[in-house]
Amino acid sequence: MTRSNSVLIGTFLGYNWVAIYDILEKIVGALLIPFNLLNQSSYPAIAEKKDLKLFNKVFKISLISSLAIYLLLLMTGEVIFSILSGATLERSNYYYLIYYGLLIPIVNIIYQLTTLLIVKNKNKYYSKSLIYSLLVYILGVIIIYYFNVISLFTIISVKLFADVSNILIMLQYNKK
C-alpha cells in the first residue's frame, strides 16, 4: 500500500508531497525496525512450542515499547524530520508525521496478531485478513477520489483505516 500511496500522492498532489511522504515513511520505517527484529527473533520459539505465555510477554513488551517510541516521536519528530530532509519542518508536515507515526503501534499489533494466527494454524485467516484490508484500502481510495478530497491527510487516513480494519479482522479470526 505504501507504493500505491506514493503513486497517488505523485499523481494528484505533486512530487514535493511525494518527498514529504517518503521522509515520513522512512522515519516510521526506521522506528519499526526493533519491532520487526523482536517479532522475527521471538517467532521461532513461539511457533515451535505454541507458547502463548511467551507470546503474551512479547506482545506486552512490544505494545508498551511501541507506544513509548511513538511518544518519543511526538517529542523529537521535528528534529528527526529536519535532519533527514535538510529543511525545517513546517507545522503542517509535523502533524502529518505525528499522524503517520500512529502506524508504529498499529503495525506492531499487526506483527503480533499475525504471529498468533500462524501459531494457531490459521494461516488462511491471515491471508483473508490481508485481502479484506486491501479491499478496505481500495474502497477508501475510490471514496476520496470520488469526493475529490485527495490530500496527504486523506491518503494517510485511508492507510491507517485499512490497517486498523486488518487488526479488527485478525482479532475476530483469533477468537474463532
pLDDT tens, N- to C-terminus, the chain (176 residues)? 668 999 999 999 999 899 889 988 998 999 999 999 999 999 999 988 888 899 999 999 999 999 999 999 999 888 887 787 776 667 677 788 889 999 999 999 999 999 999 888 898 999 999 999 999 999 999 999 999 999 999 999 999 999 999 999 999 998 87
CA distance 56 to 67: 16
**Domains identified in the chain, total number:** 1
- How many CB atoms neighbour CB 7 within 10 A? 11
Please enumerate, as own/partner, the contacts of 132-136 that have beta carbons within 8 Å and a separation of 24 or more: 132/165, 132/166, 132/169, 133/162, 133/163, 133/165, 133/166, 133/169, 134/1, 134/162, 136/161, 136/162, 136/165, 136/166
Q: Against a cut of 0.85, is the pTM above it?
A: yes
Q: Which three cell numbers stand for residue 153?
A: 491527510
Is there a contact between 161 and 140 (Cβ–Cβ < 8 Å)?
yes
Domain that holds residue 34: 2-175
Is there a contact between 99 and 158 (Cβ–Cβ < 8 Å)?
no
